[in-house]
Amino acid sequence: QKEVEQDPGPLSVPEGAIVSLNCTYSNSAFQYFMWYRQYSRKGPELLMYTYSSGNKEDGRFTAQVDKSSKYISLFIRDSQPSDSATYLCAVSGGSYIPTFGRGTSLIVHP
Amino acid sequence: ETGVTQTPRHLVMGMTNKKSLKCEQHLGHNAMYWYKQSAKKPLELMFVYSLEERVENNSVPSRFSPECPNSSHLFLHLHTLQPEDSALYLCASSQTPTGIYGYTFGSGTRLTVV
């Protein structure tokens, strides 16, 4: 079993939709959870960072962690064409390097 | 300049060539990394440097040779590469070696081995 599973997509949605991006992980020791956004021909940029369980909101973005299910989510409200990118989740136990998912390609069409 | 800067942006090299990738960070971070990104695969960690000392080497072939002369600069020396080494090579930096507070990535070098 891979440490982090992420559906590569592509996920195609109309502008204004609520987007849900998800990852599952296998190691219950992971406590740090990150979402990165990567535009075409660019490096990933840190979007959201959360520690332990719960929700974290930043504008139109909400990161959610369910440690009991080993499931993390990123929600995007009122999606825009500029949100079209690949979204990578990353998880870490704190004493070792984060493990990344494969990334989900998101396309928001006008 | 701010952030993490990588040069060159694109590189095409033959299997017998020797080339180097350069990375520079202006963030005052203590750790720097090389990652390989191939299509539809997770980011693969190659090397980690903390305060100019290599702390991790993820079983990377010897045809890849890193160098970290100071905490702001990182190089990846390439020689006798294979076509399967074609990928996007990303440099990153972070405040701590474990990167738990997140990385700052450069834009990458798109490498094509012919």
Give residue-wise pLDDT tens across range B30-81: 999 999 999 888 999 999 998 777 777 778 999 999 999 999 999 999 999 9
**pLDDT beyond 80 at A2:** no
Beta strand A99-100 with A4-5: parallel, antiparallel or unpaired? unpaired
Shortest CA gap A34–chain B (Å)? 7
Q: In this complex, do B107 and A42 lie within 8 Å of one another by their Cβ atoms?
A: yes
Q: What is the mean pLDDT of residues A44-51?
A: 93
Q: In this complex, do A49 and B42 lie within 8 Å of one another by their Cβ atoms?
A: no
**Distance, CA of B73 to CA of B28 (rounded, Å):** 11
DSSP E strand stretches across B14-108: 18-25, 31-37, 44-50, 53-57, 64-70, 73-79, 87-94, 104-105
Q: In this complex, do B101 and A49 lie within 8 Å of one another by their Cβ atoms?
A: yes
Contact B75, B6 (CB under 8 A): no
- What is the pLDDT, as a whole number, of residue B1? 54
- What is the pLDDT, as a whole number, of residue B98? 79
| DSSP element (H, E) containing A100 | strand A99-100
Which of B48, B106, B108 has its CB closest to that of A97? B48
Which of B48, B56, B90 has its CB closest to that of A43? B90
